[in-house]
Chains A and B, each alone.
Chain A
Amino acid sequence: MYRRSAAYRIFSVINYIFLGLLMAVCLMPVVHVFFSSISDPALLKVHTGLVAWPLGRPTLKGYGIVLGNSRIARSYMNTVFYVGSSTALGVFLTMMGGYVLSRRNFLLKKPIMVFITFTMMFNGGLIPFYLVVKGLGWLDTPLAVIVPGCLSVFNIVLMRTAMMGISDSLYESAVLDGAGHFTCFCRIAAPLSKPTIAAIVLFSAVAQWNSWFQAMIFLKSRKLFPLQLVVREILVENNTTSVTSGADVTSGALSQNLYKYLVQYSTVIVTILPIICIYPFLQKYFVNGIMVGSLKE
């Protein structure tokens, strides 16, 4: 067996070390951000380099500022609302689309498949898309972030593949009992494809939680901003004044400057926390979803 050869053993050791380094590289930024977010702000401000342990006495001050800030709280609520409604709408439509396209006798199955998959190959581009949403009168309304983009061809095909696995005899006996398509959909197709539905719920929710571009181009009012837009301002544009100027914790430009990094790091943790919490599920369902999606019909 090759596993006993000296050369393979040397390779194995190097391989394990290399993969260990890879883990460190993937984990390091999260560790750095977490420990920075609970560090002493004064020490953090002058510290350079990796923070692999809290600097000074651990403090939750950064989280206090971030969670107490009305703008962040509001954008958090907005994001939860956008994620919830966009996912609900998108998944519902995906299920119906998947059901219809999975039925063998449906006459328009082929043309509709072509109609849908063509959109993967060619699109009108950003500006016409923008003008359509504008034409609907949705600019600066929540609808502009909830509806466009809630459906994806990939998810519909995934749903369809799952529902095609349902045996015809189930439908036939239901039809004999007088069931129409609505009943077949609600009582047979939907309950029998729960794992795929769960995967698609997660796909959509994560995508929506992380999305920012659509909100940036369609929303003007600050009160409608999702979390990612506020995070962009704090983190990417490096502007924490709107957060640190909350009169309760700080006074004057000096302390605003002091809390700047602390606020940035705490914001990151608050933003990625929900993702980390559902991570075990994500891993399971995303991996399964990808496997199903990779099967050729």
Chain B
Amino acid sequence: MEKKIKTPKESFGLRIKRDFTKNWQIYVMILPVLLYFLIFSYLPMAGIVIAFQKFSPALGILKSPFIGLKNFTDFFGSYYCGRLIGNTLLLGTATLIFAFPCPVILALLLNEVYNKAYKKAVQTISYLPYFISMVVICGLIKNFTASDGFVTQIIVALGGEKRNLLADPALFRPVYVISDIWKNVGFNSIIYLAALSGVNQELYEAAAIDGAGRWKQTIHVTLPGIAPTVIIMLVLAMGGLFNVGFEKVILLYNSMTMETADVIQSFVYRKGLTDANFGYSTAVGLFNSVINTILLLTANRISRKVTETSLF
């Protein structure tokens, strides 16, 4: 092993310079990657200044007049503010509460399947919807929930009323969350299955000797074994609480369901790119990003405190 010789007197800049003459190729290789993130991640971050401007594309970022926090006060004072925050929070929370546990449960159930072929079949088939594009999924959802669609028919058979489900604001959230579970449950269970295979088998034997049945074993051995993975995934999910899948919202909503379906990001898209109200919509988007970041960091901190597992 080549040991790095510490020379504290030499400045970092000088070391880089020396390293560059020797290893210039490595700098050339990383350059395009850095440029990519600079242009498509950091330049947009700098572009956030237009949230504080009355931005007009003709004047550009440098010449558009600054108007302080007016875009923000306009948004917080508007009729949309409460509705958008409420919708985003409700849709995010509903997904977290109903969709998050499903893959964990599926993994636990798969863990009790001892027929290898059957297990493999369930896995293979339940991963499938994950790979189908959002556009096709939403097209199918629309088709199935139309007034003569087959989901609607099942509901009619169960005593419901025949109508277009996506025209009813009260049903947007259930449709969104249920289809989300359907699309992702199989695929998201992979990570828990991996965690399950890592649980020490001797612990089960020890528990069995102590007289624990399968249920007790699950509670006392399996669940603690996969807890770190579950918590990491929960942290990720909580960090993304305000990051509702707006592509799906944009594909599924219509003028009738706007009151429950419209979320912050779909509003940003509409205001910014359809109405060309750049400054205002950047301000709304910034509000959303800041909440996202705070949520992620908070969830991460909580997780580190409680379980000593964290993302960063």
Contact = CB atoms under 8 A, between A and B. Distances in A.
Interface of A: 1-3, 5, 7-8, 11-12, 15-16, 18-19, 22-23, 25-27, 29-30, 32-33, 48-50, 93, 96-97, 99-101, 103, 105-108, 112, 115-117, 119, 121-132, 136, 147-151, 156, 168, 172, 180-182, 185, 206, 209-213, 217, 228, 231-232, 234-236, 238, 264, 268, 271-272, 275, 279, 282-283, 286-287, 290-291, 294
Contacts of A12: 112
Given A19-B122, A122-B45, 14 more contacts: A19-B118, A22-B106, A22-B126, A23-B122, A100-B26, A123-B289, A127-B282, A128-B45, A131-B278, A132-B39, A182-B25, A182-B29, A231-B139, A290-B191
A115 B292 CA distance: 19
Interface in B91-136: 106, 109-110, 112-114, 118, 121-122, 124-129, 131-136
A124 B41 contact: yes
B19 A287 contact: no
A185 B29 contact: yes
Interface string B24-59: 011001101110110111111111101000000100
Contacts of B126: 22-23, 26
A44 B128 CA distance: 25
B36 to A, nearest CB: 5
28 contacts: A2-B214, A11-B214, A15-B112, A22-B106, A26-B182, A27-B128, A33-B140, A96-B32, A105-B2, A108-B16, A112-B34, A117-B312, A122-B289, A124-B46, A125-B288, A126-B273, A127-B272, A127-B273, A128-B45, A131-B278, A151-B33, A151-B37, A210-B134, A210-B135, A213-B247, A235-B136, A264-B139, A275-B132
Contacts of B281: 126-127
A2 B213 contact: yes
Contact of A128 (B2, B44, B273): B44
A183 to B, nearest CB: 9
Contact of A127 (B182, B187, B268): B268
A294 B193 CA distance: 12
B125 to A, nearest CB: 5
B158 to A, nearest CB: 14
A123 B41 contact: yes
B208 A122 contact: no
Contacts of B129: 26, 29
B4 interface: yes
B293 interface: yes
**Which of A48, A147, A217, A282 counts the most chain B CB atoms within 10 A?**
A48
Contacts of A148: 40
A179 to B, nearest CB: 10
A123 B44 CA distance: 7
B258 interface: no
A93, A127, A231: residue with the most chain B Cβ atoms closer than 10 Å: A127
